Amino acid sequence: MLVRLSWPIVIAFSLQTSYNVIDVFWVAKLGSSELAAVSLAGTLFYIILALGQVLGSGTVALVSQSYGAGLFERANTVVRQALGLTLFIAITVSVTGFMFARHIIILLGGTGDVLVHGHSYLRIVFIGFSFQLLSFSINYAFRGTGDMKTPMQIMIIATATNIILDPLLILGIGFFPRLGVTGAALATVFAKGISFLYGFIILLRGKSGLRLSMKKPWHFNWTIIRTILRVGIPAGISYALMFLSITAVFRTAASYGKYVLSALGIGQRVLQFAGLPVVGIGVATTTLVGQRLGARDVVTAKRISWISLSCAAIIMIAFSLLFYTQAPAIVQIFQPEQPVIDFGIQFLHIVSLYLIFVGTTVTITGIFRGAGDMLPPMFAGLIKLAVLIVMAPVLARTWGAGVRGIWWTMLCAYGVEALIMILWYHSGRWHKKGLELLDRIQVRSRPTQ
């Protein structure tokens, strides 16, 4: 069951990663100013992804538990409420972003041509953010039922549309006008819009126990809305902390020059690749644990958790052995310069020691998301960020460890995060809170709308 649910997620997240790479590939052909503008604006995607976590985490927790309890109409009610909340937030974000796009680029440090191109790109892309946020809620709703293939199909459509439109609109191939970065933005909006429309139509027609009715009145059920936000806001903060952690490491590494930065960039990409199977396990675990807690079957929820943690550990140990033994060959795939190779080998040798921490954290986060208890990952992420900010300069400069000090700090930070998550998992609070989650909306909410 775990494998069956995981593989579509791995494909979907792989496509999501390639989505941004495709944009960068074609925009790079326009020039350095255009590439810098799109790269600068691209940092805002992390904010959108954090908002997506806020909306999606609460949705998947409530849908999976309602589904596991056999309360299919209540699951549909949750989806209606989630989409209503998402639409309100999406419109607010898009309108605000469109109006203040120029100011945002200036705030991010854009000047001259970078400012001009970044403004043109960002104000259009903000329109696409609405479709992206709505797709988040739809995808997480389907995942709550155990349907991982529909979200994968939605991502395939988005990526395929972007692949086709990018060169046509950016470079002006055939009868298409050469629109440059504006073309890249339009391709993104079209891709997000079409993929959202596809998912929305499936939801209207009904699939996997979910069916959205447009005939019922749309008004907020504040009990469900508050529950979605109570679960989702810590998840969004956790995602933001992850981004800040990466930024803190890059900031410290930047003082050691371009070779170290290049090695870190390569290492992060390799780490993302290794993490894809575990991310798939984490998302699948969310669904399975949520459904079992909804059915009041704590014993099976615990067994699923242990199976997931064991699978994640085995996968990460395998990657650890690969990274340690094949580090030179892996780094040379990306960069032939010897200084980068040397620093990259250092990084991968130490990464191989803490991959199991990453796998443990991601999997337990999936367990907690299914229970609707996202405060532990937020707390653990905050401690990890503090360790990175405080310890990296101390080890690297004060204690004279240099670049190795940065890598060892990452090992310690991820280890501390994993330890906090393990202790919180063994406390048993997660399944107790999971049992309370569905009761809250059953008892306090109005009858199903």
User: pLDDT per position in the chain (449 positions), as tens?
Assistant: 777 777 787 787 777 766 666 777 788 788 877 877 787 777 777 788 888 889 999 999 999 999 998 888 889 999 999 999 999 999 999 999 999 989 888 887 778 888 888 889 999 999 888 898 999 899 999 999 999 899 999 989 998 998 899 999 999 888 888 998 899 999 989 999 999 999 999 999 988 889 988 777 778 888 999 999 999 999 999 888 887 887 777 777 777 777 777 777 777 777 877 888 898 899 899 999 999 999 999 999 999 999 999 999 999 999 999 988 988 888 887 667 788 788 888 888 888 888 899 999 999 999 999 999 999 999 999 999 899 888 887 887 666 677 888 888 889 999 999 999 999 999 988 988 888 887 777 644 444 44
Q: Looking at the domain assignment, is residue 245 inside a domain?
A: yes
Side-chain half-sphere exposure of 181, counting CA atoms within 13 A? 27
158 and 264 inside one domain: no
How many CB atoms neighbour CB 142 within 10 A?
Answer: 28
134 and 207 inside one domain: yes
169 and 284 inside one domain: no
Answer yes or no: are the C-beta atoms of 395 and 408 closer than 8 Å: yes
Taken in order 166, 172, 174, 176, is the CA torsion positive or negative? positive
182 and 272 inside one domain: no
Q: Which one, of 227, 144, 212, 200, lies nearest residue 449 by Cα?
A: 212
212 and 245 inside one domain: no
Of 220, 249, 284, the residue that ends a domain is 220
Among the residues of 28-44, which ranges form H helices?
Answer: 32-42
Answer yes or no: are the C-beta atoms of 86 and 133 closer than 8 Å: yes
124 and 194 inside one domain: yes
Of 186, 220, 254, the residue that ends a domain is 220
Of 164, 191, 220, the residue that ends a domain is 220
Q: Looking at the domain assignment, is residue 31 inside a domain?
A: yes
Answer yes or no: are the C-beta atoms of 209 and 24 closer than 8 Å: no
298 three-state secondary structure: helix
Q: What is the largest CA-CA distance in the chain?
A: 67
200 and 308 inside one domain: no
Domain count, the chain: 2
Side-chain half-sphere exposure of 11, counting CA atoms within 13 A? 17
Q: Looking at the domain assignment, is residue 110 inside a domain?
A: yes
180 and 303 inside one domain: no
CA distance 434 to 443: 15
Q: Which residue has the tokens 């981004």?
A: 243
pLDDT of residue 442: 62
83 and 106 inside one domain: yes
Residue 328 bridge partners (DSSP): none
pLDDT of residue 443: 41
Q: Looking at the domain assignment, is residue 183 inside a domain?
A: yes
Q: Looking at the domain assignment, is residue 448 inside a domain?
A: no
Q: Looking at the domain assignment, is residue 226 inside a domain?
A: no
pLDDT of residue 17: 66
CA distance 306 to 137: 28
22 and 157 inside one domain: yes
314 and 253 inside one domain: yes
Backbone angle region of 400, left / alpha / beta, with phi > 0 → left and psi within -120 to 50 → alpha: left
Q: Looking at the domain assignment, is residue 21 inside a domain?
A: yes
pLDDT of residue 400: 64
Tokens encoding 108 = 């991010």
Taken in order 8, 14, 20, 23, is the CA torsion positive or negative? negative
Q: Which one, of 366, 151, 358, 340, lies nearest residue 274 by Cα?
A: 358
CA distance 9 to 379: 26
Q: Looking at the domain assignment, is residue 369 inside a domain?
A: yes
188 and 281 inside one domain: no
Q: Which residue range forms the structural domain that includes residue 264?
A: 233-441
221 three-state secondary structure: coil
